[in-house]
């Protein structure tokens, strides 16, 4: 099985400009290729990971990756299938975000070894030296307005309004491809399927201006249950930065994917062989309630993104919370595991009597309800049931002298913050 056949078998190929020609190029010699990442945030997210891993697979097969950080295009904003124009960022912000993205990419691509080691490029390096007049004369003349208007990403926005700034984005991305083709012999661009219009603008420019053939390959967009893609503009981003999405949260995300998606995601997001995944699929289908595929998927992706120690910590948090063993976790681990539960900052003047705390923290709706909750055995402090109406929280109830976890009933957690 050649690399393109493996990419297809894993569900990583959505579209190509000329599949036969691309397969020929990939099998006959080393191909230089690139994927672009606009710094529209200070971190990449799950939506980027599909293309990143496709790029890594091609590198492992001997081809040479270029990772392009869009220091220039990030100042403009890509209109592709967005309902509204992006907010423009300052140069300083975009340059800072560009560096953070470079650092994240180094986790996945090998920038140090071999004749196919990855290289980082920033399109600000060439756009910053081009005058507006030169760009119109040397690049703009190769694009007709009719061609630009025909792109689906533009058609959708024409109905609601699109600025010339965003309208011209496809020419800028096309020029990126041309520049890399001229200077580094890059002949393949990889990106999400929503980028098809922008990416083929590059192959068109290379064909018309340089009279050479270049290729485009898109990877599928990963969507949630509602059909929305995972991205920051959609409000459901799963970040690759541990400070924005903790390893525990990333673990839980994969642990909770639907059964019908689990094996498909194993092929896309892990480096397990297709043979290994086929064996996992058999065992998984024999007892889906045990969620074997999800557990392996969560382990592999968290380890890939954050390392083995982060995976072990995420697994431990999961197991201890499931068992109710709050005391077995540190304050930092509890902050990961309970990041989405109600949080109440205890004030110096607050009464620490259990009934008063339940009311102050809005755990119980009234003092009467609070007393009933305590007497009925529905209240747990750090996993231990409390039924004494006179009980007051003390220093021994503060985990790492920072927080206390109160559980009401079987599943409703609350965090009291003393820090």
Q: Are 408 and 373 in contact (CB under 8 A)?
A: yes
Can you give the C-alpha Rg of the chain in angstroms?
26
Length of the chain: 419
Confirm if 348 and 419 have CB atoms less than 8 A apart. Answer: no
Q: Which residues pair with 385 in a beta bridge?
A: 380
Q: Using CA atoms, how far apart are residues 27 and 6, in angstroms rounded to an integer? A: 12
Q: What are phi and psi of 109, to 5 degrees?
A: -105, 145
The strand pairing partners of 379, in sequence order, are: 408
By DSSP bridging, strand 15-16 and strand 186-192 are unpaired
**394 with 400: CB under 8 angstroms?**
no
Strand 403-408 to 412-417 pairing? antiparallel
How far lies 400's CA from each of 329, 395, 397, 410, in Å? Answer: 10, 10, 9, 24
Q: How far apart are CA 419 and CA 358, in angstroms?
A: 19
CA-CA distance, 157 to 392, in Å (whole number)?
59
Q: Is 64 annotated as a binding residue?
A: no
Q: Is 267 annotated as a binding residue?
A: no
Bridge partners (DSSP) listed for residue 278: none
Residue 223 CA to residue 54 CA, distance in Å, equals 17
Around 193, how many Cα atoms within 13 Å sit in the side-chain half-sphere?
11
In this structure, how many other beta carbons lie within 10 angstroms of the beta carbon of residue 360?
Answer: 18
Coil, strand or helix: which one is 35?
strand
Task: Tell me which residue of 143, 117, 122 sits closest to 63, measured CA to CA.
Answer: 117
CB 415 within 8 A of CB 338: yes
Beta-ladder partners of 343: 415
Q: Is 169 annotated as a binding residue?
A: yes
Q: Are 192 and 50 in contact (CB under 8 A)?
A: yes
Helix (H) or strand (E) holding 253: helix 247-255
Q: Which residues are annotated as a binding site for L-tyrosine?
A: 34, 169, 173
Q: Which residues are annotated as a binding site for ATP?
A: 232
Q: Which residues are annotated as a binding site?
A: 34, 169, 173, 232
């Amino acid at each position: 099985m050649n690399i393109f056949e493996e990419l297809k078998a894993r569900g990583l190929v959505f579209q190509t400009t000329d599949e036969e020609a691309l397969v020929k190029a990939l099998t006959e010699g080393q191909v230089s290729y690139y994927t672009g990442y606009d710094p529209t945030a200070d971190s990449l997210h799950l939506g980027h990971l599909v293309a990143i891993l496709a790029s890594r697979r091609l590198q492992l097969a001997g081809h040479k990756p270029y990772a392009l950080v869009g220091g220039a295009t990030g100042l403009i904003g890509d209109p592709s299938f967005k309902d509204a124009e992006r907010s423009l960022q300052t140069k300083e912000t975009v340059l800072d975000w560009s560096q953070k993205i470079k650092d994240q990419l180094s986790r996945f691509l090998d920038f140090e070894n071999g004749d196919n080691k990855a290289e980082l490029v920033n399109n600000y390096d060439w756009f910053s030296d081009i005058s507006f007049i030169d760009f119109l004369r040397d690049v703009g003349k190769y694009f007709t307005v009719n061609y630009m208007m025909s792109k689906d990403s533009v058609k959708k926005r024409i109905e609601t309004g699109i600025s010339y700034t965003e309208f011209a984005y496809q020419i800028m991305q096309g020029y990126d491809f041309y520049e890399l083709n001229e200077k580094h012999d890059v002949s393949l661009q990889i990106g999400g399927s929503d980028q098809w219009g922008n990416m083929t603008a590059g192959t068109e420019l290379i064909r018309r201006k340089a009279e050479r053939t270049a290729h485009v390959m898109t990877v599928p967009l990963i969507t949630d249950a509602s059909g929305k893609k995972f991205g920051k503009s959609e409000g459901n981003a799963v970040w690759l930065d541990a400070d924005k999405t903790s390893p525990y949260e990333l673990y839980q995300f994969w642990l909770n994917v639907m059964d019908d998606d689990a094996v498909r995601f194993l092929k896309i997001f892990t480096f397990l062989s297709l043979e290994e995944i086929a064996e996992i699929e058999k065992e998984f289908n024999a007892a889906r309630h045990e969620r074997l595929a999800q557990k392996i998927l969560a382990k592999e992706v968290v380890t890939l993104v954050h390392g083995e120690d982060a995976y072990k910590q995420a697994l431990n948090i999961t197991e201890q919370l499931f068992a109710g063993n709050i005391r077995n976790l540190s304050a930092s681990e509890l902050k990961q595991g309970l990041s989405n539960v109600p949080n109440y900052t205890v004030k110096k003047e607050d009464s620490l009597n259990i009934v008063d705390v339940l009311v102050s923290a809005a755990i119980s709706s009234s003092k009467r309800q609070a007393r009933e909750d305590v007497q009925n055995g529905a209240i747990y402090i750090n996993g231990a049931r409390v039924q004494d109406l006179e009980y007051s929280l003390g220093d021994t109830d503060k985990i790492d002298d920072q927080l206390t976890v109160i559980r009401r009933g079987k599943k409703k957690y609350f965090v009291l913050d003393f820090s």
